[in-house]
Amino acid sequence: MSLACISSCVFGSSVRVESSAPCLLWLFCGKWGIMPVANFEEIRAIVASMPMVDKAAQNRYWARDQILTKPRGALGRIEQIGAWYVGWKAQYPAQFMHPRVSVYAGNHGVAAQGVSAYPPEVTAQMVLNFQSGGAAVNQLAFLQDADLKVHEMALEHATQDFTQKPAMSEQECAEAMVYGMMDAAEGVDILCLGEMGIANSTSAAALCCALYGGAAKDWVGGGTGVSGAALLKKISVVEAAMVQHRAVINRGDGFEILRTFGGLELAGIVGAIIAARVGRIPVLLDGYACTAAAAVLTRPCPDALDHCLVGHLSKEPGHTRLLKQLHKEPLLDFGMGLGEASGAALALGIIKAAVATHNGMASFEEAAVSTGEA
């Protein structure tokens, strides 16, 4: 399968629309230069060299926080989020001018097993809905004054049915990851990531079961609304995949697990997360499928997701289990399960609030307010 037909559209907050030409899939482009990437080995080298948090920027943040016109710690987790943001941007004071919401769309061969309440053609139909401005994420991105970028990951070519064979070859998976790397463009201040793909909650469950073990039923949820016999079928599909690919699971390589059970859109998300870390761009993850994709990065690098926050807790029960494994606390819990980066886009306002309060508040001295100290 060639991925040369991957394309994307960018939707700005002022209803600006741009279409991109087919991308150079072998190039990782950004402010850090251009480097050829062709396989997992070279992607692993990028992961191994990812920068750490800028503690100097965080120290400056906390020094200023201590003298702002509020009791210390009065803004609770908002203060922690602000420190996270400046540390991963390596910038103080940090700016928040260009948020981006990116939705990756892909089709899954395992959908042929009847694991979803919707047919595979809904993926392409929803992409058209994104492009026409009719989806929930369009409204949320507009509300947050964020660009919305939609990536069509070779929708006419579904991945393989992973109950029979690996979903992707190494080349296909690596190409999708490299494509995602180009999402972390210079000038983007924060990246919200999400997905659209019929049957990708089955893929997410398989990824989590392969990464963390346990019974398939612990990771499989209703997804688009399956229940009863359909839900039991979905569980049996994941169980069959675990048996079929036991050798891959036993090796424990995160990228091999991704290519075996994942999808093109999930691989694109992984690439975007890697490049965001390299480019000093904080990341907001959406729900279950997005977080499951991200989790594969903790195999080669346990702290690979430190620059990521999780926007919301999905109604998929597996998401709760996954976040415990990742030691992540979601920003919101509204019982959402839509996908398409909707939870991440909604949570974007919390990050914006954390930056605005810190940058805009006066100190006690500046405001001529007594500190109450003796």
Is 340 a residue of the active site? yes
Residues in CB range of 86: below 8 A, 6 or more apart? 54, 57, 58, 60, 61, 92, 93, 94
Return d(Cα 343, Cα 194) in angstroms, integer: 9
Nearest to residue 234, comparing CAs of 318, 320, 323? 318
Return d(Cα 354, Cα 374) in angstroms, integer: 30
Return d(Cα 216, Cα 138) in angstroms, integer: 34
Rounded to 5 degrees, φ, ψ at 16 are -80, 135
Catalytic residue among 79, 152, 172, 340: 340
Return d(Cα 66, Cα 118) in angstroms, integer: 52
Return d(Cα 171, Cα 43) in angstroms, integer: 12
Return d(Cα 22, Cα 5) in angstroms, integer: 6
Nearest to residue 40, comparing CAs of 31, 48, 30, 50? 48
The beta strand positions in 197-329, using DSSP E, are 283-285, 308-310
Tell me which residues are annotated as active site.
340
